[in-house]
Amino acid sequence: MLSCSVIIPCYRDEAELTCLLGQLQKLPQTLLEVIVVDGAGSRKCQEICINNQASWLASEPCRGRQLLAGAAMARGDVLWFLHADARLSIDPLSAIFRAIEQGAVGGYFRFRFDAPRAWPARFLEPAIALRCRFGVPYGDQGLFVLQQIYTKVGGHAPFPLFEEVHLVNRARRLGRFYPLRDPIFVNPRRWLRDGWWRRTWKNRKLALNFARGVAPNKLVARYRSDNPSRIS
């Protein structure tokens, strides 16, 4: 029987984290452990974790390093990485375990915007699915991977952005990285704040610059200038 560890990087997302931990506790199947890696070192975040039977770990505010720190603690056969503001489908663990049992080394959930939705979401979601097929799914899609594969490929890159790119590309060389039909609901707050098309264009520019070899530390400076309250 496979076991699963959940790793959640967090940075001043206490309200969203509370909701996610509540969802995890209500899953039909039992998780081995939930590890929250807090880039803000927040006492409130620590208390939320204690109240929801999750492990709390303080870290520097760099998402890649947070994920690496959480994975180093994890004991599960499968590592499942979630953003703190995600909303889950009804039985995501069954979908993960089915994929692994069918020979996948890892995979990701279908990107779906959470409410409040607007009409651009209907066009962006299939475009994101196409991008994932030919490119890389990002961390907000609930990436999961066998722990032995994660260790073999070196885990996440210690970057503040695009930390999952090397992980996914290297894992795909070792086996099938499976796209699940089950959705994960992504918080649309950045799209609502910036505008749906403007936010999408900003994200694409960051990805294109990363692909061109611009250092993630330089890119995150641009990301912070657009969104100064967000680091992780």
Domain residue ranges in the chain:
4-193
**225, pLDDT greater than 60:** no
β pairing state of 104-113 and 144-146: antiparallel
Q: What is the pLDDT of residue 229?
A: 41
**28, pLDDT greater than 60:** yes
Reported pTM:
0.93
Answer whether CATH 3.30.9.100 is correct for domain 4-193.
no
Q: What is the pLDDT of residue 223?
A: 65
Helix 43-51 / helix 14-25 crossing angle, nearest 10 deg:
10
How is residue 77 annotated by DSSP? Answer: S
Exposure string for 92-110, b = 16+ CB within 10 A, e = fewer: bbebbbebbeeebbbbbbb
Q: Which helix (H) or strand (E) holds 17?
A: helix 14-25
Q: How confident is the model over 60-75, as pLDDT tens digits?
A: 999 999 999 999 999 9
What's the whole-number average pLDDT of the chain?
93
Which one, of 192, 171, 154, 4, lies nearest residue 68 by Cα?
A: 154
Confidence at 226, pLDDT banded by 50, 70, 90: low
Q: What is the pLDDT of residue 220?
A: 82
